Structure 1
Amino acid sequence: MTTPASPLLSVQGLRVVFPGRHGAPEARAVDGVELDIRAGEIVALVGESGCGKTTLARSLLGLERPAAGVVRFDGKPLEYSSRALRAYRRRVQLVLQDPSGSLNPRHTVYDAVAEGLRIHRHAGDERKAVADALSRAGLRPPERFFLRYPHELSGGQRQRVVIAGALVLEPELLVADEPVASLDASVRGEILALLLRLRTELGLAALVVTHDLGLAWNIADRVAVMYLGRIVETGPVEAVLTAPRHPYTQALLSVLPEAPGEPVVLAGEPPDPSRIPSGCRFRARCPILANGEADRAGVADRCRAEDPGVLNAGGESQAACHWAAERVGA
């Protein structure tokens, strides 16, 4: 059994690469990630599109095999045989952002939720398990939804069916990839409240992948900020989102509607993951380096030449930034 202090899921030195075309260098989609998620904890993984969030999530589910590093669940390394992955996916379930794409339009709600039970050859009462999962997901009375098809449901109801399909196997961890991105604003709060209630009632842990820092504030215990394949800042959500240390996190927060001051507009696009720059991977877009603050702090040369290293994203506040480290030490 997992002790309260030990992580339910632990990632160490994870690297996922994709081969380049026509002899081009390989793309380092995930380039050295350390991450812990404890039982009953919600961790938000945030960052721009293309930073590697979804690839990291897929690797945690065993859908992408890492080039290096290890994923451990309940203290044991993830194995990649079909049998081991089948057993693992009873305990770790995926919730995708687009319920319309996740649900087969020809399957009823009952069949959609029962599919996991049938794949895993559930030996108990299938009807009761489906009804319980729908009820936990907020679709009550569940029998009223059994014979409905996805097109007969609202967007929020479809997402609840997707969540019920994950819950029916009684997992310990949900990996939710942009779980409310496709929903109307009026429904998002309901789904977030549902995820929080599931954590309270069932002790579920969750990794919530999102580009929305407001969502992270509302749901997460901890946040990990990802840039170009690596976590660059991590810590308790209040610490990271009220006093961000990394210039990238500061820029992401500055464009929120309620943020004070002028928004920070980052120059250019993120570098190609097959050509990650030397030194700090954020340096080409870093406003602190561009405006001379890094020079005044005496770290500009280190920013250009020295990699800040891989964070151990286990709990305390950390930032992979020479300038931030200098300010803390000053």
Structure 2
Amino acid sequence: MTGVAAPLLSATGVRVAFPGRRNTGEARAVDGVDLDIGNGEIVALVGESGCGKTTLARTLLGLVRPTSGTVRFGGRPLDYGSRGLKAYRKHVQLVLQDPSGSLNPRHTVYDAVAEGLRIHGHRGDEHTAVAEALALAGLRPPERFFLRYPHQLSGGQRQRVVIAGALVLRPELIVADEPVASLDASVRGEILALLLDLRDELGLSALVVTHDLGLAWNIADRVAVMYLGRIVETGPVEQVLTAPRHPYTRALLSVLPESEGSPVVLTGEPPDPSRIPGGCRFHARCHVLASGEAETAGVADRCRTEDLPVLPGSGSARVACHWARP
């Protein structure tokens, strides 16, 4: 009997807390997360601004050290020493949201892409490696772009240069933080198609951080919905986005243009991460609880007082909700 393949990158019980202001508790930006990313898998991490998804992504990159819990790559815990992190970043690369801010305006395209090779002391042919990375990112012929500066490129071309800079080290996984948020609608589809092609051609894995569930639908194999530092629903993208079970996921989906029915407008802002409420952390804004449906189902008191377990990092669709659970 063949065992299940080990994940490429995994987080187990990850918690990240930052010191609070005077007379306040610590801010729990990530408050117990399990998340796995398999070989050749694209996982979308979605949620509102401030839910902790960017902090979690930075933790998976080794840019933030978790307060507790473990991040593993290839089955081994991350080494947070300078040499260990430098070696790790050959395998895992970041693609930032704003290509204009990511690229040094004084560097040519060639220098921008070659920077990673120079930092890591690449001993091969730099010219060939840069050309191959640009070609993989869809900038062909690559030599045509070598001496251009960022201001001479379109927004889509700049984002492709950023992606080429990540690809030049031939990583196994990229973390893309809102990779198309700053691009025109006509260009977004091209960049998403590029990421899918890279997965198919290179076996590249990706964690895509986004607030856009439509983007998750178009690109991801699996989706993890995050709220106030925890993943509240996770599973295969078709299952979660066509049959959402958590009230928060339903609310996020209800405002998409193609959604049927009236949009669910969440009241108020997410709670302060230094004052996370007891019980389900979504209960203060939950329309199911406010409407009386949770009371009818006999779980209203549990919603207000009983905490929910951390969801597993992979597997079938799971939800952290007293009302939605069988």
Q: TM-score range by the shorter chain?
A: over 0.9
Partner Cα distance (2:163, 2:131) in 1: 13
Does 2:70 match 1:83? no
User: What is the CA deviation profile of residues 232-274 of structure 1, one whole-angstrom value per residue up to 9, with x for unaligned ones?
Assistant: 0000000000000000000000000000000000111000000
Judge which range, 128-137 or 301-310, deviates more: 301-310
* Contact 1:228-1:270 at 8 Å conserved across structures: yes
Give the structure 2 partner of residue 322 of structure 1: 322
Partner Cα distance (1:147, 1:8) in 2: 36
Shift in CA distance, 165/4, structure 1 to aligned 2, threshold 3 Å:
farther
Deviation at 1:6, TM superposition (A): 1.1
Q: Which amino acid aligns with 1:295?
A: E
Judge which range, 229-238 or 313-322, deviates more: 313-322
Partner Cα distance (1:77, 1:4) in 2: 20
Partner Cα distance (1:229, 1:316) in 2: 21
Structure-to-structure mapping, 1:191-210, within 5 angstroms: 191-210=191-210
Partner Cα distance (1:16, 1:192) in 2: 30
Partner Cα distance (1:285, 1:320) in 2: 15
Structure-to-structure mapping, 1:142-153, within 5 angstroms: 142-153=142-153
Unaligned runs of 5+ in 2: none
Give the structure 2 partner of residue 214 of structure 1: 214
Partner Cα distance (1:233, 1:134) in 2: 37
Does 2:294 match 1:294? yes
Deviation at 1:315, TM superposition (A): 2.3
SS in 1 for 2:166: helix
Does 2:255 match 1:255? yes
User: What is the CA deviation profile of residues 100-125 of structure 1, one whole-angstrom value per residue up to 9, with x for unaligned ones?
Assistant: 00000000000000000000000000
* Contact 1:139-1:157 at 8 Å conserved across structures: yes
SS in 1 for 2:256: coil
SS in 1 for 2:323: helix
SS in 1 for 2:29: strand
Partner Cα distance (2:310, 2:237) in 1: 20
Does 2:140 match 1:140? yes
Give the structure 1 partner of residue 111 of structure 2: 111
CA-atom RMSD, angstroms?
A: 0.8
Partner Cα distance (1:230, 1:288) in 2: 19
Q: Which amino acid aligns with 2:282?
A: F
Deviation at 1:79, TM superposition (A): 1.1
Partner Cα distance (2:96, 2:173) in 1: 14
* Contact 2:10-2:313 at 8 Å conserved across structures: no
SS in 2 for 1:90: coil
Partner Cα distance (2:4, 2:294) in 1: 41
Give the structure 2 partner of residue 306 of structure 1: 306
Give the structure 2 partner of residue 175 of structure 1: 175
Judge which range, 33-42 or 14-23, deviates more: 14-23
Partner Cα distance (2:6, 2:76) in 1: 12
Deviation at 1:22, TM superposition (A): 2.2
TM value normalised by structure 1: 0.97
User: What is the CA deviation profile of residues 78-104 of structure 1, one whole-angstrom value per residue up to 9, with x for unaligned ones?
Assistant: 110000000000000000000000000
Identity of aligned residues (%): 80
Give the structure 2 partner of residue 264 of structure 1: 264
* Contact 1:137-1:194 at 8 Å conserved across structures: yes
* Contact 1:222-1:315 at 8 Å conserved across structures: no
Give the structure 2 partner of residue 11 of structure 1: 11
* Contact 1:93-1:175 at 8 Å conserved across structures: yes
Give the structure 2 partner of residue 284 of structure 1: 284
Does 2:47 match 1:39? no
User: What is the CA deviation profile of residues 189-235 of structure 1, one whole-angstrom value per residue up to 9, with x for unaligned ones?
Assistant: 00000000000000000000000000000000000000000000000
Give the structure 2 partner of residue 92 of structure 1: 92
Deviation at 1:4, TM superposition (A): 6.7
Partner Cα distance (1:231, 1:21) in 2: 26
Deviation at 1:313, TM superposition (A): 2.6
* Contact 2:11-2:313 at 8 Å conserved across structures: no
Partner Cα distance (1:51, 1:291) in 2: 24
Partner Cα distance (1:265, 1:88) in 2: 42
SS in 2 for 1:322: coil
